[in-house]
C-alpha cells in the first residue's frame, strides 16, 4: 500500500488506478479497464469527501444526529451509508460482492438523481461475461477494493482542490493512448483541446456546448478559459459508456450543473429549447472523422432545417456536424471551433457547395492545419476550422500551417507550448489587424500564415486546401559538384593510406 500523505499527488492516484488495471488483467478487455477503475475512483472520492463532511458536522453539532443529517442533505451530494467505499471494503469477502457494488452504485444514483441518474447504467461489477464466474469475480473485486483502499481522497490529504479532477482527466488521456482506434471516441489530446479552447475565446456569461462531447475534456478546457464561474455547459454524447465518463468527469471538476445528454446529435438532438435547437455563444467539437451512415436520407426533411446549405454525402458526416454546430449558435456573436479531417477543405460535390456558402456568408474565420499523428487512433491529417458570426465587414480568412511545429513522441506527436502560443498570437494579430483593402491577400508570416481575401478564395473555387494559400515549398540546397568530388577523392586517399598502413602492420607481425 502507498504511504498516506497530506499532499497526495496525481502520480500516486494514478499508480493505484494502474494497480487496479493489473487486478483486472486477463478477465477484462483493456479497452474497458477505464469503465471499472474510473468508476471505483469516483466512488472512493465521493465516499472520502463525504466522510470528511460527516466528521466536520459531528464536531460542529456535538453528535446531534438529526442536525447532522439535516446539514448533510444540504450538501452538493449525498452518500447513503451502504453506498460508501468503506462499506464495500468491509464486505469485500462477501460471496456476492459484485452484486453489493452494483446495489451501492444504484443507491448513489437514487440519492443524487439530478446529478448522477444513469451514470452507472453502462457498467456492472456483477457481470460474469466481463469479470468471470463467481469465485474468480469475487477474488478480483476483493483485490480491486484492496487496491483502492490505499487512497485517502479526503480534501485535506490532496495536493490541491483540482487534483482529483486533474488526475481523472490525466487517466482518461492515458487510457486513450492504449485504446487504439477507439480512443478518438472519447478523448481529444489535451494540448489540442487547450488551444481550441483559447481560440474560441469564451466570455463570462456564455453558453458553451460540445455536441459530440466524449469524456468532456474539451468542454472543461473551454469552461476554464472563461476565468469565472459565470457560464453554462451543455453537451451530447452518443456512446453510453463515454457519456457516463463525461458525467463523472464534470462532477469531479465541480461542473456537475452541466447538462450532458445521451443520444445521437445528428438524428436525435436532445438540447432543445421551446421546441427548437438550443442556441449557444460557443460551440466546439472533435466529431468522429468522416462518419459513414450518419442519416443523410433523413436530412432533407430535418425538422430543424440544419442542412439548408446542402446535404452532406451519406458516407461522410463532417459537414453534417459543422452545419449542426453553426445552426446552434447565436446569430449575433456565435463562435464555432471544430476539428476536421483535411478532406473537408477540398472535397467537391455537395461538400464543395456547403463550403462555398459558408465562405460567402462570411462565417469562416480561420483554417489552421495541424501536424500529423496528433490524434489517438488515426494518422489522418487534420485541421481546426473557426467560424464566427460576429466577423462584421471583415471578409478575409486566415490560413495557418502548423504542420512542422510539433514535439515528436513515441506513439503520438504533441503540440508544444511554443506552437500553441505561435498560433494564438497569429490569430490575435489577424483579428486586430486592418483587413485587406484590395482583392489581394498578404503573407502574415513566410511559410506559416496567410491572410486571404474573399476574391482569392472564390478564384480557387472555394478550395481551402492550405498549400493554395501558405507556400511551404522548401528550396533544395544547391550542391557544389566540384567540392563534393574533391571531398570524395580526399576520403578515397585517406582510405588508401589506412589500407597501406594496415598492410605494413600485418607484414611486421608475420602475416
Q: Where are the domains of the chain?
A: 10-161, 181-468, 475-511
**If 0-12 CB within 10 Å is exposed, 13-18 middle and 19+ buried, where does residue 146 land?**
middle
CA distance 139 to 144: 9
The rounded mean pLDDT for the chain is: 88
- Residue indicated by cell numbers 508544444: 416
- How far, CA to CA in Å, does 451 sit from each of 272, 455, 468? 37, 12, 12
Q: Write down the CATH superfamily of domain 181-468.
A: Vaccinia Virus protein VP39 (3.40.50.150)
Q: What is the pLDDT of residue 93?
A: 95
Q: How many CB atoms lie within 10 A of CB 167?
A: 25
Average pLDDT over residues 295-312: 95
pLDDT of residue 450: 95
Percent of the chain with pLDDT over 70: 92
Instruction: Note the pLDDT tens digit of each residue in 379-428.
Output: 788 999 999 999 988 999 999 999 887 766 566 777 888 999 999 999 99
50 has a pLDDT exceeding 50: yes
Give the model's pLDDT for residue 221: 94
234 or 155, greater pLDDT = 234
> Phi and psi (nearest 5°) for 26?
95, -25
**Model pLDDT, residue 60:** 92
- Of 136, 195, 119, which Cα lies nearest the Cα of 402? 195
Q: Which CATH superfamily is domain 10-161 in?
A: N6 adenine-specific DNA methyltransferase, N-terminal domain (1.20.1260.30)
Q: Do domains 10-161 and 181-468 have the same CATH topology?
A: no
pLDDT, position 7: 65
Length reported for the chain: 511
- pLDDT of residue 109 exceeding 70: yes
Enumerate the β-bridge partners of residue 445. Answer: 449
Query: Which segment of 97-101, 135-139, 435-439 scores lowest on mean pLDDT?
Result: 435-439
* pTM of structure: 0.85
Kindly report which listed range (119-128, 248-257, 475-484) carries the lowest average pLDDT score: 475-484
What mean pLDDT do residues 318-341 have?
A: 96
Instruction: Encode pLDDT of 174-216 as tens digits.
Output: 776 555 444 444 567 888 899 999 999 999 999 999 999 998 9
**CA dist list (Å): 58 to 61, 68, 73, 80:** 5, 6, 14, 16
Amino acid at each position: 500500500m502507498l504511504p498516506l500523505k497530506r499532499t497526495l499527488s496525481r502520480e500516486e492516484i494514478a499508480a493505484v488506478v494502474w494497480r487496479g488495471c493489473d487486478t483486472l488483467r486477463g478477465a477484462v478487455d483493456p479497452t474497458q479497464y477505464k469503465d471499472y477503475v474510473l468508476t471505483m475512483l469516483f466512488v472512493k472520492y465521493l465516499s472520502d469527501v463525504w466522510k470528511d463532511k460527516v466528521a466536520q458536522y459531528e464536531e460542529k453539532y456535538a453528535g446531534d444526529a438529526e442536525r447532522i443529517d439535516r446539514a448533510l442533505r444540504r450538501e452538493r451530494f449525498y452518500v447513503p451509508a451502504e453506498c460508501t467505499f468503506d462499506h464495500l471494503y468491509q464486505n469485500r469477502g462477501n460471496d456476492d460482492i459484485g452484486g453489493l457494488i452494483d446495489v451501492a452504485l444504484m443507491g448513489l444514483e437514487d440519492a443524487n438523481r439530478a446529478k448522477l441518474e444513469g451514470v452507472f447504467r453502462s457498467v456492472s461489477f456483477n457481470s460474469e461475461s466481463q469479470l468471470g464466474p463467481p469465485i474468480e469475480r469475487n477474488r478480483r473485486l476483493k483485490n480491486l477494493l484492496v487496491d483502492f483502499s490505499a487512497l485517502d481522497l479526503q480534501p485535506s490529504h490532496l495536493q490541491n482542490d483540482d487534483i482529483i479532477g486533474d488526475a481523472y482527466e490525466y487517466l482518461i488521456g492515458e487510457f486513450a493512448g492504449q485504446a487504439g482506434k477507439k480512443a478518438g471516441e472519447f478523448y481529444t489530446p489535451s494540448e489540442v483541446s487547450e488551444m481550441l479552447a483559447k481560440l474560441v475565446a469564451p466570455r463570462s456569461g456564455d453558453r458553451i456546448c460540445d455536441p459530440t462531447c466524449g469524456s468532456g475534456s474539451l468542454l472543461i478546457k473551454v469552461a476554464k478559459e472563461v476565468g469565472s464561474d459565470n457560464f453554462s455547459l451543455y453537451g451530447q454524447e452518443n456512446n453510453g459508456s463515454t457519456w457516463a465518463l463525461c458525467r463523472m468527469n464534470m462532477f469531479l471538476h465541480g461542473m456537475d450543473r452541466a447538462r450532458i445528454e445521451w443520444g445521437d446529435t445528428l438524428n436525435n438532438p436532445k438540447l432543445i429549447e421551446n421546441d427548437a435547437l438550443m442556441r449557444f455563444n460557443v460551440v466546439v467539437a472533435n466529431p468522429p472523422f468522416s462518419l459513414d451512415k450518419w442519416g443523410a436520407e433523413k436530412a432533407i426533411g430535418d425538422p430543424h432545417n440544419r442542412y439548408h446549405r446542402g446535404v452532406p454525402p451519406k458516407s461522410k458526416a463532417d459537414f453534417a456536424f459543422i452545419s449542426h454546430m453553426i445552426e446552434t449558435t447565436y446569430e449575433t456573436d456565435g463562435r464555432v471551433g471544430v476539428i476536421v479531417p483535411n478532406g473537408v477543405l477540398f472535397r467537391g460535390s455537395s461538400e464543395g457547395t456547403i463550403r462555398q456558402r459558408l465562405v460567402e456568408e462570411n462565417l469562416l474565420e480561420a483554417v489552421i492545419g495541424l501536424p500529423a499523428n496528433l490524434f489517438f487512433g488515426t494518422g489522418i491529417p487534420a485541421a481546426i476550422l473557426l467560424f464566427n458570426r460576429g466577423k462584421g465587414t471583415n471578409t478575409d480568412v486566415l490560413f495557418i500551417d502548423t504542420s512542422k511545429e510539433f514535439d515528436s513522441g513515441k506513439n503520438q506527436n504533441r503540440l508544444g507550448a511554443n506552437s500553441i502560443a505561435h498560433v494564438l498570437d497569429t490569430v490575435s494579430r489577424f483579428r486586430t489587424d486592418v483587413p485587406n483593402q484590395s482583392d489581394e491577400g498578404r503573407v502574415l508570416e513566410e511559410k506559416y500564415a496567410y491572410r486571404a481575401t474573399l476574391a482569392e478564395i472564390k478564384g480557387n473555387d472555394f478550395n481551402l486546401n492550405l498549400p493554395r494559400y501558405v507556400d511551404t515549398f522548401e528550396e533544395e540546397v544547391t550542391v557544389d559538384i566540384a567540392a563534393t568530388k574533391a571531398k570524395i577523392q580526399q576520403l578515397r586517399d585517406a582510405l588508401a593510406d589506412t589500407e597501406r598502413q594496415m598492410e605494413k602492420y600485418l607484414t611486421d607481425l608475420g602475416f
